Structure 1
Amino acid sequence: MADDQALTKSAPRPAAETPPRRGRGRPVGDREGRRAELLEAAMKVIAEEGIAAASLRRVAKRAGCTTGAVSYYFANKEAMMAAVIESRFDQFDKLLEIGDDAASVRRGFERWLEITTTEDAVWAAGFQLLAYARNEPALAAAYQRRYAHYRGVFASILAKGQQQGWVRTDIAADLLADQLSAMGDGWMMLYPIEPARFGPKRVKALLDATMAIISPPAPSPGKRSA
């Protein structure tokens, strides 16, 4: 009996199963989802505190993780800023994936206005990044490349519309794409200053006017015979 008790006391308890070790700062789980969360946190820090405050450490604090977790995705602040720019253009590119007919183009501009009027961090961070990129060649190059791609895809949609007859042909498609893109940027710039001008009725009027701009001109009425 004593021997049995001794064996019972000395028998080792099964060790608790420990999670696999991971490298310092290496995230687990949904990496793409985590990266998107960090970019969102970076954009909010930029919008609310300015680019000067958007360090890896500050973004990590905002995202509720370690600085090492942020540096796993972004080598430095400049790389993080470039990734934010790329992520914003990814969203803009999606506006052109909804179709290539007149209704789809109208819906694209409608969605642009929705982003402008509902996602404050987008325009606030975007304008700061644009100003910052003036003195950062790598970021400026990212803007040039992605904006050129956006305009190119948009121009191809408008060119197809010219062939189908719902886009005017007296102005080149690439010029129309440039003008309309600049118009959308203008909405995004003006909304935070004059939000009252972007009520539902005016937004509808803006969309109607946009489609009128790209539609073929109405034929001139024939002169009445004497």
Structure 2
Amino acid sequence: MAACRVRFSGQQHSEAVEEFLNGVQTFKTLEKITDEDALKGVSLLFTDTASLWWQGIRKEVTTWQDCLEVLKEHFAPRKPPHQIYKEIFSDAQDNNTGLNLFIIRKRALFAQLPEGRHAENVQIDMIYCLIHYKYRQHMRRGDISSFQDLLQKGREIEEMLAEAAYVASGGWGEKLKPKRCSFCNYRGHTVEDCRRRQQKRGGGLLGDQQNLTGKDKTLRSEEI
């Protein structure tokens, strides 16, 4: 058992306990270690609080199955369903958490409920309302029939959002620059649409017309 890389320090958290037990059981199976030898060597995998705890109860544990059960009972006691439901609905997905990680966390909570409590489609119903709007606006609940569908659509949406963000930042070509008028130097329009230029040109034409009118009057007076 000393070659097993997983260790347990005594965290009172169901996920940490399950991770440790899964690692130990996998190693035990692959190395074909008997229950008796596993029980003798499991102390090598405990550190800190877990090591002290094991020293205190070691004589009471006679089988490998007993070891697994007392470990769960002490460090990961089963939560009552109402507390699990509270944890499921206590937090919605934030903008920085990927959909895959969010779903993994929620499904881990559902797994702690009594077996058969909720079918997969009911679990999706309960989770869907907690998913961030940036995902929900691109996928309808009716289009999702399984968690596999949900995760696949989530990956597609994340790729689409990443591509849109890349393009908006100037990727795949020059970033679009705001219009700037070369006449008045203001942004938001071009020289062809510049009102100041049009007004100035209009003023110039009016002045020319006035000059021409004055010349006509002079010529007429001279003729008289």
Q: TM-score range by the shorter chain?
A: under 0.3
Higher helix fraction (1 or 2): 1
TM-score (norm 2): 0.26
Task: Considering Cα pairs closer than 8 Å and 6+ residues apart, tell me whether 1 or 2 has the greater RCO.
Answer: 1
